[in-house]
Amino acid sequence: MKLGIKHALALAAVAACTAASAGVVTFEGLDPSIYGGGDAFSSGGASLTVLGSGFNGAIVNGSDVNTCTTAACPTGNGSNYFAGLNDGGLNVAGGGGITLRSLDFGFIAPLPVPGLTGFGRLVLEGIFADGSVYNVSEEFSGADASGNFGFSHWNVGAGFGNNRFASVNVFACLYTTSGSCVNPAGNQAQFAVDNLDYVIPEPGSLALVGLSLAGLAAVRRRRQSV
């Protein structure tokens, strides 16, 4: 009987994993556009909402130098990406919750600053269904000798990446002279993100795990009654 229970739980776990819906937000297929706070759109199966109260976002075509002429956008990405501007951000959501596993990101400066380092971080704010939050952050890569910023890849790790959130906010913070990383930051906390790799657990997978646990409890009750 022990072997049967273990097999049942293993099968339920495998089925739960395969039932989850995975996707990557690449922003491909979207025309270069300017977004205000509250504007919503979708990419890669995820629901996206721009955070802020003004001109706070844009879709940038990295292969077109004319789509980012008023700021020092990061180089090395020839595809579409999202630009969070003027202290704004991006909310990423999916039906039934979302787990964010990795993404590419870079800093958007008002102008090129050769050799600039240690100025700010990208922040991921996971929002649970009860309204509580879990934050992680990663340092922006610095500028090269020509003042160009680049993209970095971030595997967010097990602590954040294994949690199922109602949604995830993405934004930047900049360091103050006291060492705090803050947003708002005088409309200078700006970032670029691309290739957001996520998983949306399907309701059926959660129900299957529940059934397996219920079956295990039933077997235990029968044993106790013998």
Domain ranges within the chain, ordered by starting residue: 1-20+202-226, 22-201
Q: How far apart are CA 140 and CA 84, in angstroms?
A: 14
Say if residue 112 is exposed, middle or buried (CB neighbours under 10 Å; 0-12, 13-18, 19+). Answer: middle
Q: What is the mean pLDDT of residues 199-212?
A: 56
Residue 203 has pLDDT above 70, yes or no: no
Look up residue 56 and give its two tokens: 């706070």
Q: Which of 14-18, 120-124, 141-145 has the lowest mean pLDDT?
A: 14-18
Look up residue 113 and give its two tokens: 């600053």
82: CB partners within 8 A, 6+ apart: 27, 48, 57, 58, 59, 60, 90, 192, 193, 194
Phi/psi class of residue 170: alpha, beta or left (left: φ > 0; alpha: ψ in -120 to 50)? beta
- Confidence band for 4, pLDDT divided at 50, 70 and 90: low
Residue 60 has pLDDT above 50, yes or no: yes
Asked whether the beta carbons of 46 and 196 are under 8 A apart, the reply is yes
pLDDT of residue 61: 96
- Rg of the Cα atoms in the chain: 21
Q: How far apart are CA 23 and CA 207, in angstroms?
A: 22
Residue 40 has pLDDT above 70, yes or no: yes
Quote the strand ranges of 128-179, DSSP E.
133-139, 152-155, 165-175
Q: What is the mean pLDDT of residues 13-26?
A: 69
To which CATH superfamily is domain 22-201 assigned?
Protein of unknown function DUF4465 (2.60.120.1350)
Q: How far apart are CA 13 and CA 9, in angstroms?
A: 6
Q: Which of 19, 18, 84, 20 is nearest to 50 (CA)?
A: 84
Structure confidence by residue, pLDDT tens digits, 66-119: 888 889 999 999 999 999 999 999 999 998 899 999 999 999 999 999 999 999
pLDDT of residue 19: 55
Q: What is the mean pLDDT of residues 22-46?
A: 97
pLDDT of residue 95: 81
Identify which has the larger pLDDT, 147 or 206. Answer: 147
